[in-house]
Structure 1
């Protein structure tokens, strides 16, 4: 497959996802059966983001043109270890390696096996040569380079096994929001999406708020109630109840709207069902502290990524800020 063929099949994949065909719907239902965190609403949200932000032919061509890609690539094999925290979270890596002209061997998370395999199967039906570019395996051996995403703990193992090869190794990251206290009702509703989408499991989910002194939390708590339906999800409810019990037993001050618990805590990462917050004296001080923090994936707010766009990455929004396409061109 040449570059033009690869771009066209990706565009066709975007149309397939957007068509909501019965075959795609069955795959989405199977994915939820395998992993209850993958609700139909959240699968649809992830799929729509991929189709609209990654798989539009014009966007793909503009992205490719910025790297001056062509068909004069000596194909290498890239091993990809994918996470499984949100639906199809590894799709951008798969897409980037595919477009680059290199071959890939993907190790999927057991939590997210159905959807990516189904999409690659469709691509192979449309063009059998896809099988020469994308393969799946439970073991990654004899690859020329590696891209591995996981926790801080798993990253140590990745560095041990893959460190002597060209590699990108990603660790735990999360996102934060910087509030001024002057946010509109619409902005707070969009912030609720940044916090609650995918049950807060993604690295682009906001798990920590920075607010000014004397901040009024009531409008925010009201905005977060748009996700009160999540309280009927048994896994989320169990996490919420567990965290709330800990705060009660330890006499920790908290606020809740019966959908999420807000707790003052300096930690960036918050447990499922909980949102941390800290007070600041000046927004510039917060921005300076977050600027080079390797645990921060994104900062939402009026002075950074607009509220509601944390989960809307573009083709150029690489995880951890590491340009994967440039990495692939250099191997």
Structure 2
């Protein structure tokens, strides 16, 4: 199977996922457009109902996987898996060696389960590079990817011997990509350190405000904070504020996500954290669905954002550089190194690698080992 065949398969998978990006609209005109789009997708009629069932199962199995977040996930991957994006992504790499059968490696992928299909990028990276996937799924997110793998094999049968899932001990693999907490990373290091590996630890994302942000930018920051209930490593869990910052500007932006108060799991965390902090005598800022607590830490609980004041932006740049191993990304409009725009935290490009580790280059390199 050559690279273009692999790209074609994932482009089709992207189109398939795109049909689950929004709630179904029963308007006649929209129905016609939907039906026409679906008819152009191979095997759609076979897999459509099954995908709806898997989405429902995923939501029932994990209360954090709401319909809105599942639709957002499908839409994000549908947009990412365009022909243009995939070609741009792979253009810088040479996969010719891994396409030779004697050079193909089996890559064990240990996936997290904090947000829907969080391990899909690793799954995609291994297959697009010509290697084989041996995936161990998180119990929190084990419905969607196996079903999408079945669809991928249906549209490109050559993928069948390249994809396997296991619930047992990982065996017969050549390299490892593992994602987990700081504690689990120590376990991964112990068991998999002798193999070529990428082992990701806990990271969090931060935002730097200058006080000059527009209301639109602040609403976009709310997306960076609340999407997936803040459970992703790309979600903003801490903000840096200039001394004298007017907190109303921040809270006004957060108001666009006020419906969070209607989610029982989220509001239970809010009530619990508020009670614990108040009983401990901590000073809090509160808008009735989000707590702000001053802290030098980065990893805040659900429903809580840490904040820290800074005096000088140049000094903050030095501080952030010193703490870069703890930070996934920086959301800002302040001229900081590698900052990303507000609202883009949970909309990564294919080439935006977790922890800044080039997964495709890793996969190219192991071919020669």
Please state which band the TM-score falls in when normalised by the shorter chain. over 0.9
Bigger mean CA offset, 220-229 vs 139-148: 220-229
Counterpart Cα distance in 2 of 1:288 and 1:122 = 48
Counterpart Cα distance in 2 of 1:25 and 1:306 = 33
Structure 1: state its 5+ residue gaps.
none
C-alpha offsets along residues 151-201 of structure 1, whole Å, 9 cap, x if unaligned?
000001100110001001010000000000111100000000001110000
Counterpart Cα distance in 1 of 2:248 and 2:49 = 42
Shift of 1:22: 4.4
Partner residue of 1:280?
310
Counterpart Cα distance in 2 of 1:287 and 1:201 = 26
C-alpha offsets along residues 237-260 of structure 1, whole Å, 9 cap, x if unaligned?
111111100121122211111111
Counterpart Cα distance in 2 of 1:197 and 1:280 = 26
Counterpart Cα distance in 1 of 2:77 and 2:321 = 27
Partner residue of 2:222?
192
2:94 to 27, 46, 68: 68
Bigger mean CA offset, 198-207 vs 286-295: 286-295
The higher radius of gyration belongs to: 2
1:113-124, aligned counterparts within 5 Å?
A: 113-124=142-153
SS of match in other structure, 1:116: helix
2:127 to 93, 98, 102: 98
Partner residue of 1:52?
79
Partner residue of 1:320?
355
Q: Aligned pair 1:83/2:109, yes or no?
A: no
Q: Aligned pair 1:171/2:209, yes or no?
A: no
Q: Aligned pair 1:38/2:65, yes or no?
A: yes
C-alpha offsets along residues 246-289 of structure 1, whole Å, 9 cap, x if unaligned?
12112221111111101111111111110000000112222221
C-alpha contact 1:194 1:307 (8 A) present in aligned 2: yes
Counterpart Cα distance in 2 of 1:3 and 1:182 = 46
The TM-score normalised by the length of structure 2 is 0.87
Counterpart Cα distance in 2 of 1:40 and 1:287 = 38
Partner residue of 1:6?
6
SS of match in other structure, 1:305: coil
SS of match in other structure, 2:325: coil
C-alpha offsets along residues 88-144 of structure 1, whole Å, 9 cap, x if unaligned?
110100000000101110000000111111111111222222221111012311210
SS of match in other structure, 1:294: helix
Bigger mean CA offset, 222-231 vs 67-76: 67-76
Aligned-residue Cα RMSD (Å) equals 1.2
The TM-score normalised by the length of structure 1 is 0.97
C-alpha contact 1:225 1:259 (8 A) present in aligned 2: no
Q: Aligned pair 1:27/2:71, yes or no?
A: no
Counterpart Cα distance in 1 of 2:295 and 2:266 = 21
C-alpha contact 1:224 1:259 (8 A) present in aligned 2: no
Counterpart Cα distance in 1 of 2:252 and 2:209 = 16
